[in-house]
Amino acid sequence: MKFGGTSMAGTERIRRVAGIVRRQQAAGHEVAVVVSAMAGETDRLVNFCREANALYDPAEYDVVVAAGEQITSGLLALTLQAMGCKARSWLGWQLPVRTDDAHAKARIETIDSDGLIASMKSGEIAVIPGFQGLSPDGRVTTLGRGGSDTSAVAVAAAVQADRCDIYTDVDGVYTTDPRIVAKARKLKYVTYEEMLELASVGSKVLQTRSVGLAMKERVRVQVLSSFIDDDAPPADDLPGTMIVSDEELEGLEMESQLITGIAADKNEAKVTLTRVADRPGAVATIFGPLAAANINVDMIIQNVAKDKGETDVTFTVTRADLARTQALLEGQKEAIGYFRMICDSKVAKISVVGVGMRSHAGVAATMFRALAERGINIQAISTSEIKTSVLIDEDETELAVRVLHTAYGMDAE
């Protein structure tokens, strides 16, 4: 079970969390709980670090910020004890959660689970601070913001858990953002691949890394709400959304859905270089320097050369990287040999995601037709095996999502 910062914000809320945990144990489960810091606490600690040293040493930053989860893990253990449960905390360095030494963005390598399993078998609830680990040279590491989801999946894998329940402030994964489409439906199941695509295009339910790890380690993950009443269905009845493998999904559903979800991402910016020489290696002179600067390029479209052996190249980067991208490409103008650079950060990427897409032609065609009927212009297209994305004007984001939700027959009754 994993609880986020909103659920852990103060002793009163921690008491509610402890109640949920206790009911899960009472249902006959051995339980490990991964917790985040109290909402706001990590920000407080990060601000201290910034004030102390603008260019902070990530190793000392980790020492400071890991304290937030240490506090909530001790408090949840105390609260469970007050309810008559056996419980103890296991800090990152105690298990230990072994990571690489990339401080502030470490990756989990292994979790020694012997002590944890023995403790759980004895009826003790294990409480584990998320987000933190131990580097090869014995120092505190953290996994980067939102890393507690990844901690939870890693712990579930290490103890070979039947299920990893992620309690959040939403009650599951929806076909699209319910704030945009009132008729969005909660999904009962979603595959790892679909969840990865949905997460990477703007659905903020789970950290992308945690989904990738769950897929690799075959951990069954359930997303469900921590704001539940005592008479809500227990977690075993799967009231949230289960994230499962393709194979499991096939066994569960008679007919897989064509499209699982629609996501909108307003975090990209479009760059067009006009009249680039249409010769071998020209594209490498553009994207080589960007890769070297660690700037991630998403969609790429190269128009067919019309005349004079010249072509226009369009691609997208995150908005945060746009200024650096511009500066870099202006410096490379001669080397690349383009005529003009046109940048536009008022764009949105709309993606339809679904494993059913693999076996069905016409998914993209439906998309283009539906958007064209409403006069929405498509600026770029990219596809993967289970996803089709288009780039459109940012102002048309909500309209496009609603149109597509209806076009794919996903609206709730």
Q: Which residues bind a copy of itself (CB under 8 A)?
A: 11, 14-15, 45, 48-49, 51-57, 59-64, 66-68, 70-71, 73-79, 81-82, 88-89, 91, 93-94, 138-140
User: Quick one: 56 or 287, whose CB is closer to a copy of itself?
Assistant: 56
| Shortest CB 47 distance to a copy of itself, Å | 9
User: Beta strand pairing status for 241-244 and 189-191?
Assistant: parallel
Q: Cα(154)–Cα(92) distance, rounded to whole angstroms?
A: 12
| Shortest CB 161 distance to a copy of itself, Å | 23
Contact status, residue 79 vs residue 18, Cβ threshold 8 Å: yes
Question: Could you count the other beta carbons within 10 Å of the beta carbon of residue 171?
Answer: 18
| Shortest CB 51 distance to a copy of itself, Å | 4
Please report which helix (H) or strand (E) contains residue 276, including its range. strand 268-277
| Shortest CB 64 distance to a copy of itself, Å | 4
Contact status, residue 14 vs residue 75, Cβ threshold 8 Å: yes
| Shortest CB 152 distance to a copy of itself, Å | 19
User: Quick one: 128 or 244, whose CB is closer to a copy of itself?
Assistant: 128
Q: Sort 325 into a burial class: Cβ within 10 Å, 0-12 / 13-18 / 19+.
A: buried
* DSSP per-residue string spanning 92-159: TTTTTEEE-S-TTS--EEEE--HHHHHHHHTTPEEEEETTEEE-TTS-EEE--TTHHHHHHHHHHHHT
CA-CA-CA-CA torsion sign (156, 157, 159, 160): positive
Pick the closest to residue 8 from 127, 161, 163 (CA basis). 127
DSSP assignment, residue 37? P
Q: Cα(275)–Cα(146) distance, rounded to whole angstroms?
A: 42
| Shortest CB 36 distance to a copy of itself, Å | 14
User: Quick one: 41 or 193, whose CB is closer to a copy of itself?
Assistant: 41
| Shortest CB 254 distance to a copy of itself, Å | 48
| Shortest CB 52 distance to a copy of itself, Å | 4
| Shortest CB 280 distance to a copy of itself, Å | 48
User: Quick one: 53 or 406, whose CB is closer to a copy of itself?
Assistant: 53
Pick the closest to residue 323 from 301, 291, 345 (CA basis). 345
Q: Cα(398)–Cα(410) distance, rounded to whole angstroms?
A: 16
User: Quick one: 70 or 351, whose CB is closer to a copy of itself?
Assistant: 70
Contact residues for 323 (Cβ-Cβ < 8 A; gap 6+): none
User: Quick one: 64 or 399, whose CB is closer to a copy of itself?
Assistant: 64
Three-state DSSP state, 278: coil
DSSP assignment, residue 294? T
User: Quick one: 48 or 287, whose CB is closer to a copy of itself?
Assistant: 48
User: Quick one: 74 or 212, whose CB is closer to a copy of itself?
Assistant: 74
Contact status, residue 2 vs residue 164, Cβ threshold 8 Å: yes
User: Quick one: 86 or 346, whose CB is closer to a copy of itself?
Assistant: 86
